[in-house]
Structure 1
Amino acid sequence: MQVVCLQEEAFYALFDKVIDHVEAKRRDMPDKWIDGEEAMHILRIKSTTTLQKLRDEGKIRFTQPQKKIILYDRDSLNEYLESYARETF
């Protein structure tokens, strides 16, 4: 086993680079919960009524943390689309 000695300044510089790298990776990940506008964009629909119908029928997951705030689960939207995917011949 090798022991690596670093000066304090070099250690903190390396530590800062690791933190920056981890934060950059985290920013690249899309949010799990999205608003109605983004949900409609993913589903390629233009009507909020259609989005509400999908929600009311239990076809997509949602959360309502406040009365006028409804967020949709990105994974459930993708699962909904996949459920209607047709296999090629």
Structure 2
Amino acid sequence: MEVICLEDKAFYALVEEVVDRIKEQSPTPHLDRWISGDEAMQMLRITSKTTLSVLRNNGKIRYSQPQRKIILYDRLSIEEYLEKNAKDTF
């Protein structure tokens, strides 16, 4: 068995380099911009389709309707809606 001793600075520099290489090699998760109603409800933490349609109809979140029965929601607008309604603590 071989033991390698490193100074603190050298050890942490090595760890950072390994982490950077792993980040470069692993693909970033691709999130679709347009999501289904179920995914939108999950992001908003709501369970009512009526609430989702009220948000949509009042222009609070963006949507696209490529076909009559298909409604897709803009992930970015949902994130913006949540961020705009976030309250700062005292």
Determine the structure 2 residue equivalent to 1:81: 82
- The offset of 1:87, in angstroms, is 1.1
Determine the structure 1 residue equivalent to 2:33: 32
Determine the structure 1 residue equivalent to 2:44: 43
| Residue identity matched to 1:40 | M
Determine the structure 1 residue equivalent to 2:60: 59
- What SS does the aligned partner of 2:51 have? helix
Aligned-partner Cα distance in 2 for 1:53–1:84: 16
TM-score by length of 1: 0.69
Aligned-partner Cα distance in 2 for 1:29–1:83: 24
TM-score by length of 2: 0.68
Q: Which runs of 4+ in 1 moved over 6 A?
A: none
Structure 1's unaligned 5+ residue stretches are: 1-20
- The offset of 1:84, in angstroms, is 1.0
Determine the structure 1 residue equivalent to 2:5: none
Aligned-partner Cα distance in 2 for 1:56–1:88: 30
Determine the structure 2 residue equivalent to 1:5: none
Q: Percent identity?
A: 58
Aligned length: 66
- What SS does the aligned partner of 2:64 have? strand
CA RMSD of aligned residues (A): 1.4
| Residue identity matched to 1:62 | Y
Aligned-partner Cα distance in 2 for 1:29–1:86: 29
- Per-residue displacement from partner, 1:41-62 (whole Å, max 9, x unpaired)? 0000000000000000000000
